[in-house]
Amino acid sequence: MADLPYRIVIGLEVHVQLLTKTKLFCGCPNRFGLPPNSATCPVCIGMPGVLPVMNRRAFELALKAALALNCQIAAFTKWDRKNYYYPDLPKNYQISQYDLPFSYDGWLEISTATGPKRVRIIRVHLEEDAGKMLHDEQGGGRDSLVDLNRAGTPLLEIVSHPDMSTPEEAKAYLEEIRLMLRELEVSDCEMQEGSLRCDANVNIHVPLAGGGHAATPIVEVKNLNSFRSVERAIRYEAQRQYEEFQKTGKKLGEVPKATAGWDENRGITVVQRRKEEASDYRYFPEPDLVPVEVDDAWRERIRASLGELPAQQRRRLQEQYGLSAYDANVLTSQGRAMVAYFETVSGKCGDPKAACNWITNKLLAVAKTQGSGNGGPFALPAEHLADLIAEQKAMGLTKQISEELFDLMVGEGLTAKEAIERKGIKPVASADELLAIVRRAIAANPKAVADFKKGKTAAAQAIKGAVMKETKGTAKPDLVQQLVMDELQKV
């Protein structure tokens, strides 16, 4: 990336839908894609007189996420009403958490081009989602419909400190949250379905001639719904602020905080000069819900269920198997099942580096071209891949032959031994046998020999190629090279 004449400062607010069977305060199903308004009841459409009841499973998933984000867990937490009017919010308030969130002061380690980096988390709280407006979809621009299936579904809000300084870091942070929460089965984090949503608080620091810097007013870019749009929107907004700062010289604190929408098609942020402050929401404690107390035993039971998190896995793969940071990141980003697959292959063939190379160069490529069908990246059982790596070494197979065997194994569901037999590969029995093959190849290629005699040393390649072909790639290339050169001298 080209050097910019400013430093970008980014904090993210991420909303994640929890993978519960039912909504946060009622028994309606929490599922994407049901017919509009079919998953609703008096509680989630805000009828008078109904009472919410906290979904214990939702709270446990929220605890799990907060502990994975290294947060402190409050021993006592309550809910608050956040009052605002919007057609997809029939109660006219959202049940959220204000001054006593259930968790706070955490951090998430992300993998960046320059090494691991910690992004601090301010707070993680639990709240209910609103419904969804469907604008202009059937009325040719004339109507707006409301679908309340999403109203009252459990939502986790994760607020970071402004610790990210490039659009790439913001993307890496989001990807890390998605990877971790998917592995923990807290959320499916499908950005297209809205179960992972992101708002970015962006401003820039412009260095001043006399030293120090000027900070521009913070703009909150709302509703970024793909990883690509997060990167693009931040990059665009930073540059827009730089140009505006050069025109107006307005600094942080001199204008009210603004929000902006991201126009994906035009690739621009559109600033709307208004931003509600906390006081506009008239927060007050939710009288219909009892506070939740989390004792040490409950908290520690959830913590013990986390298992190994991605940042720990990346570190362990490097320390235990000697993998590079890059390789460890590629494997980890595929999820726990892939890390386990790697460890099985590596353990069985005894060569972690080879196991990793086969997975990253070949197995993942197969998964990409074949999609998730055929077992996706696990189209080849780990034991079979380990056997192939072992045979490659024992028989001295070339990379090309080994990859052909791999394709045959995946395509036909064969073991390494079966594939080797199918291709009719037999190891060269002895050095004598190899010498005989070299001599035959020399006898069969008089033109290459004549060229070699005329000083074209490259002509030896043709002889070598004939030998490799004859041995189906089982001969050791440097030994063949040596024998060919020796024998050519004698001709």
Closest to Mn ion by CB, 157 or 237: 157
Match 């980890």 to its residue by tokens: 332
Interaction partner, residue 128 (Zn ion, Mn ion, none; CB < 5-8 Å by kind): none
Please report how close the Cβ of residue 152 comes to Zn ion at its closest, in angstroms. 6
Closest to Mn ion by CB, 98 or 406: 98
Closest to Zn ion by CB, 41 or 146: 41
Q: What is the DSSP letter of 211?
A: S
Q: Report how far residue 409's alpha carbon sits from residue 420's, in angstroms, rounded to the nearest whole number.
A: 9
- For the chain, give me the number of helices (H) and strands (E)? 16, 17
Match 């909504």 to its residue by tokens: 23
Residue 30: closest CA among 155, 189, 213: 155
80 binds Mn ion (CB under 5 A): no
Please report how close the Cβ of residue 267 comes to Zn ion at its closest, in angstroms. 39
Closest to Mn ion by CB, 230 or 366: 230
With 0-12 / 13-18 / 19 or more C-beta atoms within 10 angstroms meaning exposed / middle / buried, residue 129 is buried
Q: Report how far residue 346's alpha carbon sits from residue 344's, in angstroms, rounded to the nearest whole number.
A: 5
Please report how close the Cβ of residue 327 comes to Mn ion at its closest, in angstroms. 37
Q: Please, which contacts does 54-59 make with residues 24 or more away whose CB atoms are closer than 8 Å? A: 54/24, 54/25, 54/289, 54/290, 54/292, 55/20, 55/22, 55/23, 55/24, 55/25, 55/154, 57/20, 57/21, 58/18, 58/20, 58/24, 58/126, 58/154, 59/102, 59/126, 59/292
Among 128, 129, 157, 183, binds Mn ion (CB under 5 A): 157
Please report how close the Cβ of residue 148 comes to Zn ion at its closest, in angstroms. 9
Per-residue interface string for the shown chain with Mn ion, residues 103-142, x marking contact by CB under 5 A = ----------------------------------------
Per CB under 5 A, the segment of 27-35, 53-61, 399-407, 414-422 that binds Zn ion is: 27-35
Interaction partner, residue 327 (Mn ion, Zn ion, none; CB < 5-8 Å by kind): none
Closest to Mn ion by CB, 157 or 327: 157
469 Cβ contact partners less than 8 Å away, ≥ 6 residues apart:
none
With 0-12 / 13-18 / 19 or more C-beta atoms within 10 angstroms meaning exposed / middle / buried, residue 370 is middle
Closest to Mn ion by CB, 15 or 362: 15
Closest to Mn ion by CB, 80 or 327: 80
Please report how close the Cβ of residue 23 comes to Zn ion at its closest, in angstroms. 5
Per CB under 5 A, the segment of 25-33, 333-341, 348-356, 425-433 that binds Zn ion is: 25-33
Interaction partner, residue 147 (Zn ion, Mn ion, none; CB < 5-8 Å by kind): none
44 binds Zn ion (CB under 5 A): yes
Evaluate whether 142 touches 148 at the Cβ level (below 8 Å).
no
Q: What is the DSSP letter of 402?
A: H
Please report how close the Cβ of residue 275 comes to Mn ion at its closest, in angstroms. 14
41 binds Zn ion (CB under 5 A): yes
Among 28, 184, 238, 409, binds Zn ion (CB under 5 A): 28
Total number of residues binding Mn ion (CB under 5 A)? 1
Contact positions toward Zn ion, by CB under 5 A? 26, 28, 41, 43-44
